[in-house]
């Protein structure tokens, strides 16, 4: 079964309460403000009815005084948080009175509100559909009923019906609000109709930005998730750039870095991660290691080493063989071989193989510290599991040669000559060692003869 995407749906009632229904899957958050369920005072509704009549050619019946009074009583009970009494008043009105279409619509609207306040969403939907079934509805009331029904179907996760009612609402209103576009877009998103989801969400964000306002963080998050799912990394990066500007958080910097990486913009990828690092936002080992590797990739090994060293000092980066090896590589590449030595010593001690001992010996060789080079090269070869055994023997032979330990050097070069990759060079060094030994033997004999003549 495919997991559903998450969303948050918030209701703002007449008393200012917020009711939140949430589902969390993946990393998407959406906030929709639902205000249509709060009953408008009857006097204001009657005024809206009159204004609507002027725009519509169909005549809307009037709300009679006695019906107005009964609805006012029901509204008062609802506002006193007495839903049963409010429903009883409405039931009595429905049984006793013959209502015109406008009066019936108003009655059903109050039913919808009360059912909603009791979390009885199916009955609230049914009540709004009864509103819409009436003839000659004022445009304002029809609009409210369509929008509210769409919202209720959205809460019920009946996204197809939500889309149907919202599209009817869009066809009716002249100036749709951005929140409506967001809800429509998310309904399509929940149905995995990503192409249809994209336009309304983009519209909502653009409408808000054109007014010089900042869209809600949750709207940007929805758009970001949509772009990532469509592999549109350029637009995802655009959204993330706005998120780090208006709602700066670590996750957005990390995701922005990832988006740049997908577009092969390695320098921007590094910059985003480095900004998060400088703001002390990175708190995971993987993030510190990623930053270090990005520095190495961009040929900035010194910064990579500093990041790794700091991460280890703070206990974020584990001092295991792999990470110590990476730190040693960073220092070595930064021409800081001395700083690489203690790191390699730790790593070699923790390793069961001889590879790191050989690297340590190689580092000492580059520093002209032949004795230490010999010690660690031999230790590595004794441990075994060395990747380039022939190269290790070559370095061992060269170190021994520099210590004037020619016989030992010959043995090392002979071992290296057993490998095809080093055979030629090792043989040349064997010849050179033999000639050097011969030259020194001649010099020794000459010196001895000269001393004998004195």
As a whole number, mean pLDDT of residues 206-219 equals 97
In which band, very low, low, confident or very high, does the pLDDT at 58 lie, cut at 50, 70 and 90? low
Distance, in Å, from the CA atom of 384 to the CA atom of 284, rounded to the nearest integer, reads 34
The string of pLDDT tens digits covering residues 61-75 is 888 999 999 999 999
Of 178, 228, 222, nearest in space to 203 by CA: 178
As a whole number, mean pLDDT of residues 105-109 equals 94
Residue 306 pLDDT exceeds 90: yes
354-357, Cβ contacts within 8 angstroms, sequence gap of 24 or more = 354/379, 354/380, 354/381, 354/382, 354/383, 354/384, 354/385, 354/386, 355/380, 355/385, 355/386, 355/387, 356/321, 356/325, 356/380, 357/383
Structure token digits, residue 294: 């990005």
Residue 232 pLDDT exceeds 70: yes
In which band, very low, low, confident or very high, does the pLDDT at 47 lie, cut at 50, 70 and 90? very low
- What is the length of the chain? 454
Q: How many CB atoms lie within 10 A of CB 15?
A: 9
pLDDT value, residue 350: 83
Residue 30 pLDDT exceeds 90: no
DSSP one-letter code for 454: -
pLDDT value, residue 366: 86
Residue 8 pLDDT exceeds 60: no
The string of pLDDT tens digits covering residues 372-389 is 999 999 999 999 989 999
Task: List the Cα angle 76/82/85 in 5-degree steps.
Answer: 85
pLDDT value, residue 140: 93
Q: Are 34 and 17 in contact (CB under 8 A)?
A: no
Mean pLDDT of the chain: 86
Q: Are 255 and 269 in contact (CB under 8 A)?
A: no
* Higher pLDDT pick, 225 / 339: 225
Domains in the chain: ranges and CATH: 231-281 (no CATH), 354-454 (1.25.40.10)
**Which residues are CB-contacts of 110 (< 8 A; sequence separation ≥ 6)?**
39, 71, 74, 75, 78, 86, 90
pLDDT value, residue 444: 80
**Which residues are CB-contacts of 20 (< 8 A; sequence separation ≥ 6)?**
8, 9, 10, 11
Q: Are 226 and 198 in contact (CB under 8 A)?
A: yes
The string of pLDDT tens digits covering residues 264-289 is 999 999 999 999 999 999 999 999 99
* Higher pLDDT pick, 101 / 19: 101
Residue 25 pLDDT exceeds 80: no
* Higher pLDDT pick, 19 / 411: 411
Distance, in Å, from the CA atom of 126 to the CA atom of 131, rounded to the nearest integer, reads 9
* Higher pLDDT pick, 22 / 189: 189
Share of the chain above pLDDT 70, in %: 87
pLDDT value, residue 188: 97
Segment among 90-99, 107-116, 303-312, 318-327 with least mean pLDDT: 90-99
In which band, very low, low, confident or very high, does the pLDDT at 3 lie, cut at 50, 70 and 90? very low
In which band, very low, low, confident or very high, does the pLDDT at 219 lie, cut at 50, 70 and 90? very high
Residue 149 pLDDT exceeds 90: yes
The string of pLDDT tens digits covering residues 118-144 is 999 999 999 999 999 999 899 999 999
Share of the chain above pLDDT 90, in %: 70
DSSP one-letter code for 8: E
DSSP one-letter code for 361: H
């Amino acid at each position: 079964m495919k997991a559903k995407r998450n969303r948050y749906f918030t209701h703002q009632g007449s008393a200012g309460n917020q009711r939140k229904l949430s589902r969390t899957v993946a990393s998407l958050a959406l906030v929709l403000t639902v205000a249509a369920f709060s009953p408008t005072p009857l006097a204001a509704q009657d005024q809206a009815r009159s204004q609507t009549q002027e725009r519509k050619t169909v005549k809307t019946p009037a709300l009679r005084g006695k019906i107005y009074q009964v609805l006012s009583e029901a509204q008062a009970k609802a506002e006193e948080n007495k839903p049963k009494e409010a429903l009883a008043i409405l039931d009595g009105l429905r049984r006793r009175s013959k209502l015109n279409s406008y009066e019936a619509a108003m009655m059903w609207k109050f039913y919808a509100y009360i059912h909603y306040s009791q979390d009885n969403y199916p009955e609230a939907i049914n009540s709004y559909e009864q509103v819409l079934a009436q003839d000659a509805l004022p445009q304002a009331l029809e609009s409210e009923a369509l929008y509210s029904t769409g919202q209720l179907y959205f809460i019920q996760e009946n996204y197809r019906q939500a889309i149907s009612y919202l599209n009817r609402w869009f066809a009716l209103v002249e100036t749709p609000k951005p929140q409506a576009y967001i809800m429509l877009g998310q309904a399509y998103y929940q149905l995995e109709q990503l192409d249809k989801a994209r336009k309304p969400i983009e519209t909502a964000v653009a409408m808000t930005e054109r007014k010089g306002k900042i869209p809600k963080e949750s709207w940007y998050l929805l758009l970001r998730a949509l772009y990532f799912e469509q592999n549109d990394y350029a637009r995802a990066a655009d959204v993330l750039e706005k998120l780090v500007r208006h709602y700066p958080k670590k996750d957005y910097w990390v995701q922005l870095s990832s988006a740049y990486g997908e577009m092969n913009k390695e320098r921007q990828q590094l910059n985003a991660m480095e900004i998060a690092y400088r703001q002390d936002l990175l708190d995971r080992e993987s993030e510190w290691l990623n930053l270090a590797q990005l520095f190495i990739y961009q040929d900035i090994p010194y910064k990579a080493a500093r990041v790794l060293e700091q991460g280890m000092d703070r206990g974020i980066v584990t001092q295991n063989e792999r990470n110590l090896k990476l730190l040693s590589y960073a220092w070595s590449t930064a021409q800081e071989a001395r700083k690489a030595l203690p790191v390699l010593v730790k790593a070699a001690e923790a390793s069961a193989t001889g590879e790191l001992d050989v690297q340590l010996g190689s580092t000492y060789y580059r520093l002209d510290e032949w004795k230490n080079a010999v010690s660690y090269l031999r230790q590595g070869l004794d441990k075994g599991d060395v990747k380039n055994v022939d190269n290790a023997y070559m370095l061992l032979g060269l170190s021994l040669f520099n210590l004037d330990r020619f016989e030992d050097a010959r043995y090392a070069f002979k071992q290296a000559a057993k490998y095809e990759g080093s055979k030629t060079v090792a043989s040349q060094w064997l010849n050179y060692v033999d000639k050097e030994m011969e030259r020194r033997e001649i010099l020794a004999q000459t010196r001895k003869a000269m001393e004998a003549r004195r």
